[in-house]
Structure 1
Amino acid sequence: MSVKAKKHLGQHFLTDKNIAEKIVKSLHHTGQYNTVLEVGPGMGILSDFLLKETAYETYLVDVDTESYLFLKNKYPHLEDRLINGDFLALNFEKLFPGKLAVIGNFPYNISSQILFKILGHRDQVAEVVGMFQKEVAERCAEKPGSKEYGILSVFLQAYYKVEYLFTVKAGVFNPPPKVLSAVIRLTRNETNMLDCDEKLFWQVVKAGFNQRRKTLRNALSAVISKEQMGDDPLLDLRAERLSVEDFVRLTNLVKRYQLSVTSDSNRP
């Protein structure tokens, strides 16, 4: 019995056991968590190593009912730790009371959504090891100054150490994807809260990169009027040149500008 890969789910099943073992062994086992959640296990090539070589409480979640039934037959002992559902809709607080790691050969068609889901639960997710399309993996790990550096790079690197581990060729998948793949590792850093208004930080980063060819003075005009921006040199740069720390400083500048506008408007 096997599971047929479904195009609409973005399924490309890994077939190389050596790579599967390498992915599982890329977990740091930092001691911060005792639960591992695998996303999109398919026929269980990663799961075999997770269940055999780690002492963690392992959960598997797959939206594909065919995969779920295959895995239910293969791992009957998992019982309610095998979930037939959408990772993006999981209630982390209800299912996983403590910290956890997330691992998987992630469906490429929702890889960015998966990462934003993880960011939304960054206080729970201590580590991530995952297979992505190579371009997405590079974007996650990219440093300031390149065209690949973007919104996802900044948000992930604000809360995680991001490491590009290795590249994976198309021939080790069934069916082979039309792109190269890569494995990255995210390790939660010590930042509990950014030193700025975090909601505004997200707005500033998005505004900067949504018009990345413009300087930040022009790109941020939707957040604060150019007349109120002042002359900080950061404003004369493009978003791709700024580090996480620069964006934090820029967010604090914008906040001060906003507060000064509010203060001026309240004067009699």
Structure 2
Amino acid sequence: MSIGKVQEKIRSLNNVRNNPKEYLDKCDEIIRLLIGSNEIYTLVSKDSSEEFIKSGRGDIRYGIHENIPTMWLFSEEKIAKEYADYYNLKLKGEYLIKKIPFEELSLESYRAMFSGVGKLIVDEGREYLACSLYDLVNQCLIKNGQGPILERKEYLVMNILNSIKYGNAKLWVVPKAGTTFNDIIFNNFDPAIEGGYVRFFINKNESSTYSKRLGHTNGISIDLDMSSFNTTIESLLKSEAKGVKFIINNIESDITVEKLNSLLSKMN
């Protein structure tokens, strides 16, 4: 692939930064351009065996960009080597990079999104694209003749799920009216359903405010780890709830109970 072609596309993003839809459409276009080529390179973990590194079978190396676990891709071997030189990513003289076939990329990016990886960087030297890893997963699925796994409005949900399982985040939920202290102690409560939705909060104060609005004078809300959250969602499959809303800083992101349960099952 021509270096200039990808760089030109990435550079053109500067012209549409004030138009979110056009910007995101161009991001998808860049990803399609990359995965449609025969030249895709990525970084290799230094924990891979020397034999696997030499044969191009090493495990993918995920780094951290702006505190988010990230996958790096390059359109040419030369660019990948320049990156490896700059960051000293070598083992016994071997560059910690490899050419990755589309089939492997499709599989590994899908696995990574359920393992805490949330970001993709397409690095072209002076130009680079930083976007959600879920953009890559969706485009790989589309190329394979399937539908996207997530709508963009659901990306926040996936980020929250990963932050609960792989980070220190917790969720807060308000129990329905009539819930007793023992119900809470023994995790035998039902969450409040309003307008067909159960609301989960990242911030305890926001959850307490919502609790008082629903009539709990003490502003009670219950914190959930991944295990108790899973249990709660499984119980909602048999309830009247049609969906779930995640609220963070007054921003809402909704998803159906069935789809959320499906995502959680892929994380187990």
TM-score normalised over the length of structure 2: 0.29
Structure with bigger RCO (C-alpha 8 Å, 6+ apart): 1
TM-score normalised over the length of structure 1: 0.29
